[in-house]
Amino acid sequence: MKFDTPATGNPIDQLKVVGKPLDRIDGPLKTTGTAPYAYERHDVAADQAYGFVLGAAIAKGRINAIDTAPARRAPGVLAVVTTLDMPPLEKGKMNTATLFGGPDIQHYHQAVAVVVAETFEQARDAAALIRVDYARQPGRYDLAAEAPKAELVPGDSGEGSGAPPEDRFGDFEGAFAAAPVKLDETYTTPDESHAAMEPHATVAAWEGDKLTLWTSNQMIAWGKRDVATTLGIPAENVRLDSPYVGGGFGGKLFLRADAVLAALGAKAARRPVKLALTRPLVANNTTHRPATIQRIRIGADRDGKITAIAHESTSGDLEGGGPETAVSQTKLLYAGANRLTAMRLAVLDLPEGNAMRAPGEAPGMMALEIAMDEMAERLGIDPVEFRIINDTQVDPEHPERRFSQRQLVQCLRQGAERFGWANRNPTPGQRREGRWLIGMGVAAGFRNNLLTKSAARVRLDGQGVVTVETDMTDIGTGSYTIIAQTAAEMMGVGLDKVSVRLGDSSFPASAGSGGQWGANNSTAGVYAACMKLREAVAQRLGFNSAEAEFADGQVRAGNRTVPLGQAAGGDGLVAEDVIEYGDLAKRYQQSTFAGHFVEVGVDALTGETRVRRMLAVCAAGRILNPKSARSQVIGAMTMGVGAALIEELAVDKRLGFFVNHDLAGYEVPVHADIPHQEVIFLDEVDPMSSPMKAKGVGELGLCGVGGAIANAIHNATGIRVRNYPITLDKLIDKLPQPV
């Protein structure tokens, strides 16, 4: 199905099932511990052995030799495969570093060997017996030190954010120099880890020359392609199966070492192998969100109209990598006639920087939304009103392109009213409750809507049961449920008559899970397949497909009503289709918007910050399931608390690794850190987006939260911190003296 004209009335608009806050159909499996995650696929291949990965002990250099003899003699060991046993493996399309093979070390904990043994403990202990002779070389591990040498580069997150190396519109320098009110500040964000609950894990089994991987992966089609490329085998000989993913946040978008080494280990041991990366390897061997240094300049007239805005970001990555696209939202979020954005990339020898939930916008808005708050303060204008004054209904750099839907002003106004913004004291440091300094902060939320083709297969049997098959993944987002709702709505049946099968590469290739594109595109693919199935049903029954109504498990046309299952017959019916998009996204800018409001308390004696309450008001197209969408937003808001207050990968700048590489040292928010969270979805449909008229929301809930928290801390204390995370040491010596 080609979607190239705006959506009009269609079966989804009935909203009998779609749009309802239904419980997740996979909930019982997850709450009873019976959902099959990758490392727990005990039943899929008999006689599984265990793999353990040895990571490099240096960050830059070469391997002179590897002594595996003691490991091979260890109890229970079945095979040892080292990086010197083969030349560098071909890199998958999405990989920056080589995952295995060859003597060169590109980053700390790059995989250098895998041990396969009868038990996990035997494999781990044998790996500790391997002796590696390294030739260490000097490395570049300090972004601030390398930033002056960083070159202008283009960037594309692959998730809807991107920019050329330098982009100019109008005369920024002239307008900035002439502006009566100016801001020129630098902000930094740190390296961050995905810290998903489920580590990267795979069970690998060979049957002749065919490989099956039961793995934890967000993008099945990408994974299948890159496994074939990396191992040098035909893609038709590779199968990936990932029905449940226990968190990914972008860290499982791409092929990683667990899948490659499980496959190599299984071939060497001639046994199925299960392998999970340990927490230190998750931090140092896989990907992370790279740190940024961001300079923002804003000029405005005294009425608050922005006349000049510039956003320049520097980040680092391995040779051949790309930048964090932190300037992307600044190209679209606020009006201003004279504009400059630029991205620079420093070459670092740290582990690979890549996509983490809302790459680009998440760290970019942490800086931009503090800058907007600072500018409002200098102008003496309320921060909410300053953002509203500079709203735009067109792409500022391409005014002929209107936004398909843009309700940012409504998000801010409704949020301000609901949150009690009028009660905020605009003078910082004035509100106290005992030893706590209380403040409120606001930030806009922004995330682009990305359209990507997605396919599905739909089966109808004689009992009227509809089965959906697509390689779409559920990373805790509710994919099973919204896909089931879509099929139920389209075919006129209840959820109890829908079965959803996901995550298998033998199914039609979907959009996959990432960049908040999964829900809209995968359900649109199911919509397309169901439309084809409806036509097949009507044809078999002799109905005019345009007149056929599907409701209550029956098909009606004129004065005839037939049970849906009867149309399937004994052999059933099968339909498959793919949603593909025309140029609507080029003609209309498609984005999602939010207003984030936060109240914090800061201990006047210790500098400890506690978030007291949070509100997100979101405009993100049709909400397919308000309950699961709310879960996505509050989860994202929680990540925003972590990014603002505690999350930071500490870099050892001498040896080039992340020191706090486990969940004991890398802190993330826990239940006690998170207060009351409220989410409001504005009534919106976007006919330019898809037949579902939906968009995404899972990352919108994160973008802007860090800035709102930083602004609330400033309102509470009068202290402006521009370097995340905002830990108490950055506040304690500047706090107002007790009255």
Rounded CA-CA distance 309/330 in Å is 8
Helix (H) or strand (E) holding 412: helix 408-419
313 is a domain residue: no
Determine whether 549 is an active site residue: no
| Contact assessment for residue 109 and residue 280, using Cβ atoms and an 8 Å cutoff | yes
Same domain? For 7 and 127 the reply is no
Rounded CA-CA distance 553/565 in Å is 8
Looking at 586, 609, 632, the residue that finishes a domain is: 586
On average, the pLDDT of the chain sits at 97
181 is a domain residue: no
The pLDDT of 431-447, averaged and rounded, is 97
What angle, rounded to 10 degrees, do the helices at 257-269 and 220-231 form?
50
- The sheet with strand 591-603 has its strands ordered as 432-433, 436-448, 591-603, 609-619, 676-681
Closest to 17 (Cα-Cα) out of 385, 550, 425? 550
Same domain? For 274 and 219 the reply is yes
Looking at 586, 613, 640, the residue that finishes a domain is: 586
* Tokens of residue 483, six digits: 């896909």
| 489-493-494 Cα angle (round to 5) | 95
| 516-521-522 Cα angle (round to 5) | 100
289 is a domain residue: no
Rounded CA-CA distance 572/671 in Å is 48
User: Residue 460: CB partners within 8 Å, gap ≥ 6?
Assistant: 466, 467, 491, 533, 537, 564, 565, 567, 568, 572, 573, 574
Same domain? For 12 and 119 the reply is no
| Contact assessment for residue 98 and residue 92, using Cβ atoms and an 8 Å cutoff | no
pLDDT at 739: 61
pLDDT at 711: 98
Confidence tier at 737 by pLDDT (50, 70, 90):
confident
The tally of CA atoms less than 13 A away on the side-chain side of residue 146 is: 22
CA distances from 524 to 18, 94, 117, 585, 629 (A): 12, 25, 45, 15, 17
440 is a domain residue: no
Strand 676-681 versus strand 609-619 pairing type: parallel
Look at residue 106 and tell me whether its pLDDT is greater than 80.
yes
Q: With the C-alpha atoms ordered 126, 128, 131, 136, is the resulting torsion angle positive or negative?
A: positive
pLDDT at 301: 98
Same domain? For 105 and 220 the reply is yes
One DSSP character per residue, 60-107 reads: SEEEEEEE-HHHHHSTTEEEEEEGGGSPPPPPPTT-SS--S-SSEE-S
728 is a domain residue: no
| Contact assessment for residue 644 and residue 726, using Cβ atoms and an 8 Å cutoff | yes
For residue range 634-649, list pLDDT tens digits in order: 999 999 999 999 999 9
| Contact assessment for residue 212 and residue 284, using Cβ atoms and an 8 Å cutoff | no
Same domain? For 494 and 552 the reply is yes
For residue range 249-275, list pLDDT tens digits in order: 999 999 999 999 999 999 999 999 999
| Contact assessment for residue 645 and residue 726, using Cβ atoms and an 8 Å cutoff | yes
| Contact assessment for residue 81 and residue 113, using Cβ atoms and an 8 Å cutoff | yes
Residue in 192, 324, 576, 699 annotated catalytic: 699
One DSSP character per residue, 253-299 reads: SS--HHHHHHHHHHHHHTS-EEEE--HHHHHHTS-BBPPEEEEEEEE
Same domain? For 15 and 126 the reply is no
Q: How many domains does the chain have?
A: 2
Same domain? For 8 and 134 the reply is no
Q: What domain range is 459 assigned to? A: 2-35+451-586
115 is a domain residue: yes
- The CATH number of whichever domain residue 102 belongs to comes to 3.30.365.10
For residue range 184-212, list pLDDT tens digits in order: 999 999 999 999 999 999 999 999 999 99
Confidence tier at 95 by pLDDT (50, 70, 90):
very high
216 is a domain residue: yes
Rounded CA-CA distance 234/224 in Å is 10
What is residue 415's three-state secondary structure? helix
Residues of the chain above pLDDT 70, percent? 100
| Contact assessment for residue 436 and residue 602, using Cβ atoms and an 8 Å cutoff | yes
For residue range 586-600, list pLDDT tens digits in order: 999 999 999 999 999
Same domain? For 580 and 490 the reply is yes
pLDDT at 151: 97
574 has which bridge partners? 459
Look at residue 160 and tell me whether its pLDDT is greater than 90.
no
Torsion of CA 702, 704, 708, 709, to 10 degrees: 40
Same domain? For 564 and 527 the reply is yes
pLDDT at 347: 98
241 is a domain residue: yes
For residue range 500-526, list pLDDT tens digits in order: 999 999 999 999 999 999 999 999 999
Strand 454-460 versus strand 77-82 pairing type: unpaired
Same domain? For 9 and 97 the reply is no
Looking at 235, 268, 284, the residue that finishes a domain is: 284
pLDDT at 159: 85
621 has which bridge partners? 694
The pLDDT of 549-562, averaged and rounded, is 95
Same domain? For 30 and 62 the reply is no
3-state secondary structure 423-449: HCCCCCCCCEECCEEEEEEEEEEEEEC
Q: What is the CA radius of gyration of the chain?
A: 27
Rounded CA-CA distance 470/526 in Å is 8
CA distances from 450 to 394, 515, 688 (A): 18, 8, 12
pLDDT at 554: 97
Look at residue 378 and tell me whether its pLDDT is greater than 90.
yes
The pLDDT of 213-230, averaged and rounded, is 98
pLDDT at 478: 97
Same domain? For 56 and 98 the reply is yes
DSSP state letter for 158: S
pLDDT at 376: 98
